């Protein structure tokens, strides 16, 4: 059988560790997450260490980032959402750095593992459910009824809304995972064509990888943004039942 195009995504344990039957081995993804956490912590702490009236380059970058995330939250959740700022900001920065650092050859894209994205998505979704029930009690079940639905349509609408609700964590996780995996697979296939193509025609797919890399940087940023904004929308739905903000699925 030919080599699978997915083999760069396979993980091999460097240091196998078993703890109470749980596999917490150290592998490439774990090390990459440490690198991401370390780098973001270093950069942001350094940016915030000496706050000046006239910001340094790093500080203005961090200010831009904070302003960007604050605008996302204010647009989707309103003022109440600001208490989620640390969570949303952590999520955004972590996913962004995972996506972008994964593009450097030789590193590993943590978000191309569905277990990572599914853990994020399930956490976000269960948080929105718990928050909704805590804030609204049983009335939160009204999220299954779109506003303005006539009574005779309810038996039809409620199952549809239930499915659309349950599809949220699935689509949230698969979207990020598939985008990252697909991008890297396409790059891998193109590099494979470059090698098999030889000198005569091999430059063509190689030139194309440059264009694909540009697109991938864009995709990395957009997908981090999408994940964050959908998190805000789901949390905002739990906040304001049938609020004024639109539904983005």
Partner 1 sequence: MDAAAAALVGMGLAAAGFAGAGVGIGYIFGKMIEAVARQPEAEGRVGKYMWIGFALVEAIALYGLVIAFIIMGLRK
Residue 4, interface with partner 1 (CB under 8 A)? Answer: yes
Q: At what angle do helices 203-239 and 114-136 cross, to 10 degrees?
A: 20
54 CB-side CA count, 13 A: 0
Element containing residue 22 per DSSP (H, E): strand 22-23
Tokens representing 30 are: 């774990």
Sort strands 22-23 and 18-19 into parallel, antiparallel or unpaired.
antiparallel
If the CB atoms of residues 28 and 175 are measured against partner 1, the closer one turns out to be 175
Longest CA–CA span in the chain (Å) reads 69
CB 205, min distance to partner 1, A: 19
If the CB atoms of residues 88 and 219 are measured against partner 1, the closer one turns out to be 219
- Which of 26, 30, 38, 29 shows the shortest CA–CA distance to 9? 29
Contacting residue, 109, 128, 223, 231, with partner 1 by CB under 8 A: 223
If the CB atoms of residues 6 and 204 are measured against partner 1, the closer one turns out to be 6
Positions in 139-198 near partner 1 (CB under 8 A) = 171, 174-175, 177-179, 181-182
Contacting residue, 130, 153, 204, 248, with partner 1 by CB under 8 A: 248
Residue count, binding to partner 1 (CB under 8 A): 18
Residue numbers of the site for partner 1 (CB under 8 A)? 4, 6, 171, 174-175, 177-179, 181-182, 219, 222-223, 225-226, 229, 248-249
């Amino acid at each position: 059988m030919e080599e699978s195009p997915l083999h760069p995504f396979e993980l091999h344990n460097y240091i196998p560790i078993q703890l109470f039957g749980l596999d917490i081995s150290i592998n490439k993804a774990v090390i990459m997450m440490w690198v991401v956490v370390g780098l973001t912590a270093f950069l942001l702490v350094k940016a915030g260490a000496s706050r000046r009236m006239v910001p340094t380059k790093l500080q203005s970058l961090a200010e831009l980032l904070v302003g960007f995330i604050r605008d996302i939250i204010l647009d989707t959740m309103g003022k109440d959402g600001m208490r989620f700022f640390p969570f949303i900001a952590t999520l955004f920065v972590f996913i962004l750095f995972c996506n972008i650092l994964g593009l450097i050859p030789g590193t590993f894209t943590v978000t191309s593992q569905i277990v990572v994205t599914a853990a994020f998505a399930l956490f976000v979704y269960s948080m929105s459910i718990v928050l909704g029930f805590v804030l609204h009690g049983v009335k939160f079940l009204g999220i299954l009824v779109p506003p303005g639905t006539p009574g005779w349509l309810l038996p039809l609408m409620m199952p549809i809304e239930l499915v659309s609700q349950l599809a949220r964590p699935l689509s949230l996780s698969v979207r990020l995972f598939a985008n990252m995996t697909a991008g890297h697979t396409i790059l891998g296939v193109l590099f494979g064509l470059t090698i098999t193509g030889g000198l005569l025609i091999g430059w063509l797919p190689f030139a194309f990888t440059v264009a694909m890399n540009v697109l991938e940087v864009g995709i990395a940023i957009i997908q981090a943004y999408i994940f964050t904004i959908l998190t805000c929308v789901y949390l905002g739905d739990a906040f304001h039942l049938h609020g004024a903000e639109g539904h983005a699925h």
